[in-house]
Amino acid sequence: MRILVCGKRSAAAALAALLASAGEDAVLLDLDTDCMSDLESGLWLVRDGEEREYAVPTASAGGLEGVYDGIFLAAPARDVDSLLRALSPHVHRSTFYLDLSGNLGYEHIGQVVGSERVLLGVLGWAGEWQEEGRRARMLGRGLCIGEVKGASSARARKSAEALAKTDLGPVRISDSCGEELWAALCYTLPLHSLEAILGKGFAELVEPPGLPDIVLKAGGEVGEVARALGFKLNAPLDWPAPKKSDNGGRQEEVARDFFEHARGLPAGQVRSPLLDDLEARRETDNRFLAGYVSGKARGLAISTPVNNTLFTLIREMERGARKPSPDNLRELARRIGEDDSMTLI
CA torsion 137-140-141-142 (nearest 10°) is: -120
Q: How many Å apart are CA 270 and CA 266, to the nearest integer? A: 7
Q: How many Å apart are CA 53 and CA 46, to the nearest integer? A: 9
pLDDT at 45 over 80: no
- In the DSSP assignment, the letter for residue 172 is E
CATH numbers and ranges of domains, the chain? 2-174 (3.40.50.720), 178-338 (1.10.1040.10)
Pick from 49-53, 124-128, 178-182, 209-213: least confident: 124-128
Instruction: Determine the average pLDDT of the residues in 12-39.
Output: 80
Cβ atoms of residues 109 and 99 within 8 Å: yes
Other beta carbons within 10 Å of 343: 8
253-268 per-position pLDDT tens digit: 666 666 665 545 444 5
- In the DSSP assignment, the letter for residue 75 is -
pLDDT at res. 87: 93
Q: How many Å apart are CA 29 and CA 256, to the nearest integer? A: 38
pLDDT at 46 over 80: no
Pick from 35-49, 209-223, 255-269, 279-293: least confident: 255-269
pLDDT at 297 over 50: yes
Q: Name the phi and psi angles at 71, rounded to 5.
A: -110, 115
Instruction: Determine the average pLDDT of the residues in 269-294.
Output: 88
pLDDT at res. 154: 82
Q: Considering only residues 325 and 140, tell me which one the structure prediction assigns the higher pLDDT.
A: 325
pLDDT at 128 over 60: no
Cβ atoms of residues 16 and 128 within 8 Å: no
Name the band, by pLDDT with cuts 50, 70 and 90, for residue 63.
confident
pLDDT at res. 98: 93
Q: Considering only residues 167 and 88, tell me which one the structure prediction assigns the higher pLDDT.
A: 88
pLDDT at res. 240: 47
The percentage of residues in the chain with a pLDDT greater than 90, rounded to a whole number, is: 31
Q: Residue 336's Cα: distance from chain center in Å?
A: 24
Q: Considering only residues 208 and 293, tell me which one the structure prediction assigns the higher pLDDT.
A: 293
Q: How many Å apart are CA 267 and CA 207, to the nearest integer? A: 13
Which DSSP string corresponds to 195-243? HHHHT--GGGTTSSTTHHHHHHHHHHHHHHHHHHTT----GGG--PPPP
Q: Name the phi and psi angles at 29, rounded to 5.
A: -110, 120
Pick from 96-100, 108-112, 248-252: least confident: 248-252
